Structure 1
């Protein structure tokens, strides 16, 4: 019996075969659940003929497309394991992941093909299959692509493997902001329970909802918030190959999108584009932000524009929804990530794993049926992360008397200066309110006197101007002096991962050496 995510389109083919499952924003092509099931059956059959079977890993280094989701479902139908890989990585980085997971087949896009070709050397990969680009699909040139040829050769009869809910469905590699990425092992049950959490989070989702997948689908946020859950519930997902704010707005208006997930950097770009003021967003029930802390000033701006806005917290390891700040709370409890999802337990613990008092800072622990089962080939890291039935997130948090959780910082980002703990996220939220600050990252730099020196790296808004001394003085007027930066360095833009997370590791490397790099 197939108890996996690959069976979802089969169920909906029986229940309502003509309902739209996926829409390709590149050309407006619609794919019904009946067609999606037939195509993923054919793809599964073709992959089985290539030797893919239970437990085999199939990697994807692609831009967003409906075809990417087809691959995930087809691999699941065989009991295989899909491995979505960041399509912005360089060949050595992709090669590491391919070698670590032991993938046998890789799907690529034309844009990623050169990197993939270089990355497969020395790995177990026997074949690269190219998915047509959005431009090719828009021009009607997809039918002759290797991908469509593969599907045409497969049988549309259901190939049903014996897939258990607890079987491994996917390896989602962490972003690697602190070192080599780790493959988080997510089961079919993890995705199932995450879908159920989606049904009850914020105002929920249903079969009549239409979402917009604009963030990269190799990231658990774009995949696990709305995209997979709507395939579970029988709704519709519009897939945008690559994000631009104007393309996002056009897709919302054209396809009458009702729910949309984006990371803070994307929401900031949407908020800033002139088209925001003229686009019809009346279909949008609510937007959800996640992936990184959202600046309070951005939440306030989007709310003023009439967007009903919620904020979520989760991790790759939680598939991802763990906690949600509801629409009515986003301004009143700004800075909080809200309360746990329906089937999630959370606790703030001390180093011994004991719950701390309300209001005290400790490490955030999560448990629930959506929590992953460990890191691929990394038993030590798994043992460190999963203890006593809890997932130790590495996030420092507090919980107030009303049950609202607040993420204070990552453990690694906490700065100890002069014996005082300084939480970078708190300082960043304050500095975001300065009218000249577009982006800011706060890091700790080794200091002989203070242990660590609080340092801010700032990208100013276009046309704005502010001096280091002025910004330090302004910040000291808002928060305690020991929390305020002792130095501010200016850059054109902060380095980010493809999912919008700031690469503080790169900033620390740049400004922690002998000081020569910081001279301006």
Structure 2
């Protein structure tokens, strides 16, 4: 017998088995049982249906962490519509391409971020037919109020179309490295399968309470919106990251699991140094870290001072995201604990990982020879939205039929990988992916700039930060502050360089290509590794 793997399976199980249990604690402390959450989701689904949303349509959301995020995801997917979460940290103009590319029928926005979309709404030339806002009274213009919409809709389970596991479920935009952002398409099967293996490797149980410190728009919350829900755990929502609020909620709600990019861990450690606060409730705390590998010092301090157990993982928006983990008690018991935890790890269940050279051959298992990470697994994307050529290249560059991550790594005798370079010039700052190409293109828009290179440099707080190395015209009086402000007017602030260095020239190849590896070596030679 074969039962389709659907994302809605997780919600249905939670409502049936844990309907009387608290499923979600909103940022303001409001608690919703899974039965209450299910009714709110049904109301939104029925409202969407009344507006004409059908299978295959897109519903977009612009919001920080909130219970509305979970509701909109499931309400869209149980109608067979595609859910499209948008990065709330972008500048208004950066949403133009995203909205025009995915063409949503309905767009829902948080009251603090609706103004970023106001120019699109007023222009009236998008696909959006219904604009909805949380607390619409506090938003300029005519928006449907989210809670009013729910109050006016039925709480009955809506009749659903024939949804198959290979139907599209979500589009997740990633910044990419060149050109426009790419929409990563995941099917119901992909998201379902990823949630299962991720829940296993992070050891989720129905007694777990997860604190949402990581942005939910990142790959639909790394899949925990599915996995933790289906298992019957409790979501505690944190709208904005704040170290004091993190420790308060850990104690108040007996949090046992949270996500923490290296920069988050460093901020929590810094706060803890000066604050006399409990670091746990009755249950021990596990923290999953990804993004750029955390320094061993950060891992030691997190485990020794906070008493939290680190689970290190690796992946990308295209891969579910998680494709490797260092969570192995056996391997840790046999080796150097912190060296193993510091590695992205080995392949997750039913996932094939290879590190291959430019000819597609596996590199030796010597933890020295570099190659590109390629992967096969049920959690890997279906395709890029409206980008068949990019899809074909991603699956067939070095090895036919394998997804090419663009990350350069080594593999040791235990088949654990270590990321040593980024083929795509992605900078990871504070857990956010930043395309150096995108930033460079913006810098080149300045009339005084003749040559520019953007690289990642070490940063004590953020792990990495963008640095611009720039050559200007002789008569230019451009300053560091002036160029940074120029970028901040055109890009999300987290993408902008925090440091600018003016030079007479930049190292180039004979064909005129800037040799970034030389620039990176100047800044990373004293670090444990160069991950850029």
Q: Smaller-chain TM-score range? A: 0.7 to 0.9
Partners of 1:362 and 1:324 lie apart in 2 by 19
Equivalent in the alignment of 1:314: 315
Equivalent in the alignment of 1:347: 354
Partners of 1:24 and 1:459 lie apart in 2 by 33
Partners of 1:315 and 1:43 lie apart in 2 by 30
1:5 is displaced (CA, Å) by 1.7
Equivalent in the alignment of 1:173: 173
CA 1:453–1:103 in 2, change beyond 3 Å: closer, same or farther? closer
Cα RMSD (Å) of the superposition?
Answer: 3.6
CA 1:219–1:36 in 2, change beyond 3 Å: closer, same or farther? same
Equivalent in the alignment of 2:129: 126
Partners of 2:503 and 2:154 lie apart in 1 by 59
1:199 is displaced (CA, Å) by 2.7
Equivalent in the alignment of 1:198: 198
When normalised by structure 1's length, the TM-score is 0.77
Partners of 1:399 and 1:126 lie apart in 2 by 50
SS at match of 1:273: helix
Report Cα offsets for 1:50-102 as digits up to 9, x if no partner: 01110101111111110111000000010000100001111111111000111
SS at match of 2:264: helix
The number of residue pairs the alignment matches comes to 443
Equivalent in the alignment of 2:19: 17
Aligned pair 1:403/2:422, yes or no? no
The match for 1:392 among 373, 394, 404 is: 404
Equivalent in the alignment of 2:524: none
CA 1:349–1:213 in 2, change beyond 3 Å: closer, same or farther? same
1:454 is displaced (CA, Å) by 12
SS at match of 2:104: coil
Partners of 2:200 and 2:104 lie apart in 1 by 35
1:128 is displaced (CA, Å) by 1.4
1:501 is displaced (CA, Å) by 12
Equivalent in the alignment of 1:362: 371
Partners of 2:84 and 2:90 lie apart in 1 by 14
Q: Is the CA contact 2:373–2:404 (under 8 Å) kept in the aligned structure 1?
A: yes
1:201 is displaced (CA, Å) by 0.6
- Segments of 5+ residues of structure 1 without an aligned counterpart are 137-143, 415-423, 429-441, 446-451, 462-488
Match runs of 1:118-517 below 5 Å = 118-120=119-121, 121=123, 122-132=125-135, 146-159=145-158, 160-176=160-176, 178-202=178-202, 204-220=203-219, 223-274=221-272, 277-282=276-281, 283-305=283-305, 306-326=307-327, 329=332, 331-333=338-340, 335-359=342-366, 360-387=369-396, 388-413=400-425, 457=457, 503=495, 506=497, 510-511=500-501
1:287 is displaced (CA, Å) by 0.7
Equivalent in the alignment of 1:449: none
Q: Is the CA contact 1:6–1:75 (under 8 Å) kept in the aligned structure 2?
A: no
Equivalent in the alignment of 1:6: 8
Q: Is the CA contact 1:75–1:82 (under 8 Å) kept in the aligned structure 2?
A: yes
Partners of 1:355 and 1:395 lie apart in 2 by 15
CA 1:299–1:177 in 2, change beyond 3 Å: closer, same or farther? farther
Q: Is the CA contact 1:4–1:76 (under 8 Å) kept in the aligned structure 2?
A: no
1:259 is displaced (CA, Å) by 0.9
CA 1:272–1:191 in 2, change beyond 3 Å: closer, same or farther? same
1:18 is displaced (CA, Å) by 0.7
Equivalent in the alignment of 1:464: none
Partners of 1:304 and 1:178 lie apart in 2 by 41
SS at match of 1:184: strand
Partners of 2:148 and 2:505 lie apart in 1 by 56
SS at match of 2:77: helix
